[in-house]
Amino acid sequence: MVWLAVLAGAIYLLHRGAVMVDADKLPPEVRDLWRSATAKARGLSNLPTDPVHLRRLAWLATVEPRVLAVLRARWPQARRTSAYRAPSVNAAVDGSPSSLHAQGLALDFTDGGSTSDFRPWLDAVRDAVRAGVIPAPLEVIAESNPPHLHIGWRDPLEGAVSAPRYFSEIGDRSRGERRKLVVV
């Protein structure tokens, strides 16, 4: 975790305009959060250029392993499928312009498509939040097409979330249906 303190200091200076950070020299745990199959396939850059996004990604890099541990305790095949999205990548995946991914504050997870019932995943995340294992998210959404769990946080410098929202999607996104049902 020493790398996190060094990175936080570098990002603070970058935010103040004092230095530039070479993204290739950031720890792999942070760089991995902007790796994107969509960006690679379409020849798009997914490199975050906003220092606020880099700071958020440094924080997210400390959260991701804890979320994965919670999910893999029940679903060993769980893996992260998405994190940061640059505006062009976000548009390429039909992401919302206000997406927490585009702000460096969201992670998506899947189990490889073997489940369509994400209610136990929602329960596992809620239990981990209550136990203090992971920070309270702003939103947790189980999406059906493709099946994945989306978890988004508020910027940690803006304060804690007092009441996370848990949703399960009902409707097929590919047909323009996107209705959310509050489950908790």
Strand order in the sheet with 139-144: 79-82, 106-110, 147-152, 139-144, 165-170, 179-182
Determine the pLDDT at residue 135: 92
d(C-alpha 138, C-alpha 169), whole Å: 16
Tell me which long-range contacts 129-135 makes (C-beta under 8 A, separation of at least 24). 129/164, 133/66, 133/69, 133/70, 134/63, 134/66, 134/67, 134/70, 135/63, 135/160, 135/161
Determine the pLDDT at residue 43: 96
Determine the pLDDT at residue 122: 83
CA atoms within 13 A on the CB side of 89: 23
d(C-alpha 176, C-alpha 184), whole Å: 25
Determine the pLDDT at residue 167: 55
* pTM for this entry: 0.78
Kindly write down the DSSP assignment for every residue of 103-142, as one continuous string: GT-EEEEE-SSS-S--HHHHHHHHHHHHTTSSPPPSEEEE
Determine the pLDDT at residue 116: 67
β-pair partners for 165: 139
Average pLDDT, consecutive stretches of 10 residues, N- to C-terminus, the chain (184 residues): 50 45 76 91 92 91 95 91 94 90 93 74 88 89 80 85 56 51 43
Kindly write down the DSSP assignment for every residue of 66-100, as one continuous string: HHHHHHHHH-TT-EEEE----HHHHHHTT--TT-S
d(C-alpha 36, C-alpha 79), whole Å: 14
β-pair partners for 150: 108, 141
Helix then strand then coil, % of the chain, to nearest 5: 45, 15, 40
- Rg for the chain (alpha carbons), in Å? 16
Determine the pLDDT at residue 180: 46
